Amino acid sequence: MLELVPRSNYCLLMSLTLDQLAEEAMQLPSASRALLAERMVESLDFAETEVIQKLWAEEAIRRRDEIRSGRVQPIPGEQVLAEVRGLVGR
Task: Between 89 and 75, name the one with better pLDDT.
Answer: 75
* Rg of the chain over all Cα atoms, to the nearest angstrom: 24
As a whole number of angstroms, the distance between CA 36 and CA 34 comes to 5
pTM attached to this predicted model: 0.42
What is the per-residue pLDDT for 1? 47
As a whole number of angstroms, the distance between CA 73 and CA 66 comes to 8
Output phi, psi for 34, to 5 deg. -65, -45
Please report which confidence band the pLDDT of residue 4 belongs to, taking 50, 70 and 90 as the band edges.
low
User: Under DSSP, is residue 30 helix (H, G, I), strand (E, B) or coil?
Assistant: helix
30-75, pLDDT tens digit by residue?
Answer: 999 999 999 998 888 777 788 888 999 999 999 999 999 999 999 9
What is the per-residue pLDDT for 25? 93
Q: What type of residue sits at position 63?
A: R
